[in-house]
Amino acid sequence: MISLADVRAAAGRIAGNVRRTPMIGATNLKVPAVEGAELMLKLELLQVTGSFKARGATNRLLSLDRAGIERGIVAASGGNHGIATARAGYMAGVPTTIFLPSNASPAKIEKLKAWGAETRIVGSAWHESNDAALALVRESGAAYFHPFADPEVVAGQGTVGLEILEQMPDVDTILVAMGGGGLISGIATAVKPLAPHVRIVGIEASGSPVLLRAIEAGANIALDKVTTAVATMSCARTDDRIFDIVRASVDGIVLVEDDEMRDAAAWLWFEMGLAADLSGAAAIAALRQGRVPVRPGERICAIICGAGPEAVSG
């Protein structure tokens, strides 16, 4: 699908249009998320639009010529990719339409509207919203921005991995929240050729274990149903190319419950002053619940991949 060279090209292309997000240590805590390890947080919730999705959407935009977007941009999203795509449409000065499932966060919908996007609520899960988005693309000729099954988008997300290796060259393990798998695929493509010893662990919502079940089955199967309330981690079936990357390059996948992510978001707010959405808290949830085996002294990077008001308002 993509190579390390594609990720490096994306890093050059999006430089100056997105942020190089900081990494901070999880220290001086009342209740540590993990004992006996060094935990660093990669703060993608401080990215423009509030999540890593800005990297992929911006790379996709800058990979197109003007003719490719003159009829507007369309995407389907649980929220974060939609906001990033809406910003891309704002940058290009073209209309953007974002389809969302019924469980999308009201705060994210308002943010989409603030970026000037038209929002349409279709279905109860991302794949249903995506069917409607694709129908509009066929009808209108607009450019389609897929949240994970697009090489430019995945390459853009992979730039997170390059930054982690630069900021934490001694990292042992990287924890990555997963929906469709675009972020972890990009990170694995960037990290494994440069640091093959680094363990990459994905975290899925227990109500949407699409990649775990596919890997267990040995084929890219679809889930019968998606039950998680976390729209940004909802996906009934991933792309075949994403499945191949994850199967070849990701070292493990663990599951967390929605309530465990809510508790982790509250932990991030209390301990770190970070207002993460539930997907942004998934890596911390996995650590706090002991789902990821940790060696004494292990150096762990948890990606706090998205911002949200859940912990603050809750």
Model pLDDT for residues 185-221, shown as the tens digit of each residue: 999 999 999 999 999 999 999 999 999 999 999 999 9
Q: What is the pLDDT of residues 78-87, one digit of tens each?
A: 899 999 999 9
Token code pair at residue 193: 């050729």
Contact status, residue 52 vs residue 124, Cβ threshold 8 Å: no
C-alpha–C-alpha distance, residues 313 and 257, integer Å? 20
Which of 100-104, 149-153, 166-170, 275-279 has the least mean pLDDT?
A: 100-104
pTM of the model: 0.96
Contact status, residue 277 vs residue 111, Cβ threshold 8 Å: no
Q: What residues contact 124, with CB distance under 8 A and at least 6 apart?
A: 101, 102, 103
Residue 263 confidence class, pLDDT cut points 50, 70, 90: very high
Predicted local confidence at residue 309, as pLDDT? 75
Predicted local confidence at residue 310, as pLDDT? 65
Distances from the Cα of 101 to the Cα of 8, 31, 116, angstroms:
33, 35, 19
Mean residue pLDDT across the chain:
96
User: Which residue is it, tokens 């990701």?
Assistant: 250
Terminal-to-terminal C-alpha distance of the chain: 40
- Please check whether the domain covering 53-144 is classified as CATH 3.40.630.30: no
Q: What residues contact 237, with CB distance under 8 A and at least 6 apart?
A: 127, 210, 220, 221, 222, 223
Q: Give me the count of residues in the chain.
A: 314
**% pLDDT > 70, the chain:** 98
C-alpha–C-alpha distance, residues 274 and 202, integer Å? 21
- Give domain limits for the chain: 4-52+151-313, 53-144
DSSP code per residue over 196-253: TT-EEEEEEETT--HHHHHHHHTS-PPPS----S-GGG--S---HHHHHHHHHH--EE
C-alpha–C-alpha distance, residues 178 and 200, integer Å? 12
Residue 121 confidence class, pLDDT cut points 50, 70, 90: very high
Q: Phi then psi for 66, rounded to 5 degrees?
A: -60, -35
Token code pair at residue 21: 């997000």
Q: Is 122 left (phi over 0), alpha (psi -120 to 50) or beta?
A: beta
- Please check whether the domain covering 4-52+151-313 is classified as CATH 3.40.50.1100: yes
Domain 4-52+151-313 shares a fold with domain 53-144? yes
Q: Phi then psi for 33, rounded to 5 degrees?
A: -75, -25
Identify the burial level of 64 via C-beta atoms within 10 angstroms of its C-beta, where 0-12 means exposed, 13-18 middle and 19 or more buried. Answer: middle
User: Which residue is it, tokens 């859940």?
Assistant: 310
The rounded radius of gyration (Å) of the Cα atoms in the chain is: 18
Contact status, residue 52 vs residue 153, Cβ threshold 8 Å: no
